Structure 1
Amino acid sequence: MAETAVTTTPRALPPGAFHAMTWGWTGVRGTWTSPAAKASMDAMTTVHPTWVVLAYAALQDTAQSTQIHWQDAPALTDDDVRSAVAQARSLGLKVCLKPTVNVADGTWRAHIGFFDRDVPGEPTWDEWFDSYDRYILHHARLAEELGAEMFAIGCELVRADAQEGRWRRLAARVREAYSGPITYNCDKYQEDRLTWWDAVDVISSSGYYPTGTWDQNLARIRAVAEQHAQEFVFLEAGCPSRDTSPQRPNDWSLPGTPDEQAQADYLEEMFTALAREPWVRGVALWDWPPELYPPSQAATNGDYCVYGKVGAAVVARHFADAGASTAV
C-alpha cells in the first residue's frame, strides 16, 4: 500500500550532543519507581549522557496476534513513565520515549506479520495497526504532556516496515498529538530499505554492526541521510561484554565467555568511526537496566550494560570529549 510522499519541514532535535543511554528495558510495571531504579539512573550519569532513551514494551501473544496488551501488566503504567521522566529531568537529561512491542512467546518483533492481501478468517494488518496505533498515540500524548524531546513511533518491526501507507497515517496522527520531533528506529541494514523516511523527522536505526564493518555501513547510511536531508542518530548500539560478541553484537543470546575488554575495544572502534562522520548526531547505547548488578559482578556479567566495566571509561571519555566539541 503505497502513498504519495508529503513534504513537511522536519522538526529538529534540540541543539547539543545526542549522547544517550537506553534505560529501563523492558519496562516491567513497578520496576521504574523502586529505590533500585533511582540508584540505577543516578549511577548512569557517571558515563556523561546528555539524553536518556526510556525504552519499554507491551506484549502481544504471538507474532500473528492482533491485540497488543499495552494497558495490562506487565506493561508500565503512565505513572511509571512519569516517575522516570521526572528523575531524568532532575539529572539534567533530555528524554526520548520509545514504546515498542514484544511477543510473549519470545519471537522477535521483526517477525510480526500478516498476509499482504486479507483472507477471510485470518488476522490482518489493519487489525494489528488498529491496536498498535492506539498504543502509540496514547504514549505520544504522554510524551507531549511530559515535554519529551523526541518520540519513537516504532522499533525494529522489519516485516511491518513495508506497510508504508499505514505508517504514514500513524506518523501524521502522532504529529497531531505530539509537537516534538518523531523518529522510527529501523533495524540494522534496513536504513536504505525504508520508503517513508520523509514521514518522520529523524532517521534512526539499531547500529549493531560487526567489528570491522563500521566504515562501510556508515557510508551506506550516509547516502540515505543525504538523500533525505534529515538528521540521523543510532537509537540503539552496543555490544555485550563477551569474547564472541564483537562479531555479532546484535545477538544478546550468543554464547561466549565474559570479556570486558572485548566490549571496550568494540565501543572504542565504534566511537572512533562515528567521530569521522559529523552527520551522525549521536548514539543511544544499549542498555542500562533499572536494577543494576553489584559492581563485584561486573567482570562476570556478559550483558550490554557497561556499569563497573572497562567499557564505562570508554563511553565516559567519548561522551565527554564529543560533548565539549559540540557544545552549543
Structure 2
Amino acid sequence: MLSTYVDLAVGLVLAFLFLSLLVSGINEGLVRLLSIRSKFLWAFLRDTLDGPDRQGRSFLPAGMRDVFTALPFSRDARPRHNSMPSPAVLSPIPEGEAVAEGELTERLYERVREIDHPKAKRTSIATLPPERFALALMEFASAEPNGVQGLLDKLKAMRSPLHGHLQGIWESSAADVNRFRQQVEVWFDAEMRRLTLLYRRYVRWVVAVLGLVLTLVFSMDALEYGKTLLRDQAFREGVAAIAGGGDQGLTALKDRCTATGDSADPYRCVTEALSSPALVKIFDHALVGVAVPQNGDPQVKWNLGAWWERLISPGHWPGFVLTFAALLFGASFWWDILRRLTGIRSRAGR
C-alpha cells in the first residue's frame, strides 16, 4: 500500500515538474527573444546616468505591463552595438548645451563594449560587473582636468541623477580616489541587487500568467490525475498478479477491457494499457493532442469540443486551481521534491 502512495506522489511531482519546466522554458524564450534583461539593465542605467528623456519620461518600466509592451518595442534604451574596441583616449564630457541626450549612457557603453557580442543592432549586454562600472567612471574622471571633482561638477551641470550618488560617495571617502572607486563598486553592486529583485517581481507575474494559461490549455486537473495514477497502478498490479498465476486482478482487467460494454481482446487491451502510462494521459484532455496508433505515423488531433466542456465543468475547477498553485512553486522546487522521493543525489552533494 505504501508503494502505491509513493508512486502517486512521484507521478504528481513529475507532472508538476514537467509543466513547471514548460512554463520556465516559455518565459525564458520570451525573455531572450525580446532581450528583456538587456533592455531592463540599460533602461536603469540611462535613468541613472542621463535621467528621463526630453519629454520627462523614464525608461525603466513602471509596471508589469510596460515590461512586455513599452520596454521591448518602443522604449529601447540600449546603445547601438559597436564591434570596434574602445578608444585608448577618452575625451572630456562636453560642457552645458553641448551635451547630447543619452551622452553618459553612450560613453559608458564605449568603455565596456569589449564584453559585448553581436546579436542585433543594439547591445546585448545584460549584466555589468560592478568593477567594470567603477573603472569606467574612473576613466571618465581621468579625462577631466580636475579629476573626480571635475566629473562631479559636470554631472551637476547636466542635472544627472548620478551626481547625487557620487557626491555622497566622494565625501564619505574623504576625497581618496581608491576608496572612492571601491565605494562606487559597493554602491553599484547594491543597485544591481535591487534591480534584480525588481526584475524578478515582474517575472513572477509573468510566470503566474503562463502557469494559468498552460493549466487551462492542458486542462490539467490535478485531483483527477491523482485518481488516474491510482487506477493505473492498481490495474498494473492486477495484470502482474494474473501473470503470476493469481486471479485477484481478473475483475479489474475485465472491467478495464469491457468498459464500453463490448467484448475486447484482453491481450490487445493489456498491451495498450501498459504502453500508455498515466503520465502520458496529461495530454489526453489538452486542447491539441497527439495520437500514436499501432500502425502509421503520429497524428495531431484537436480536442476543442471535449476540452471546452471540461473547462466549463465546475467539477474540474478545484483540480485546475491545485495545478495552478503547484506551478507557482517553480521547477526547482518540484525537482528538489522529486530528488527527495526517489533518492537521487546531486553531484554537488557527493
TM-score normalised to structure 2 length: 0.21
TM-score normalised to structure 1 length: 0.22
Specify the structure having the higher radius of gyration (Cα): 2
Greater share of residues in strand:
1
Greater share of residues in helix:
2
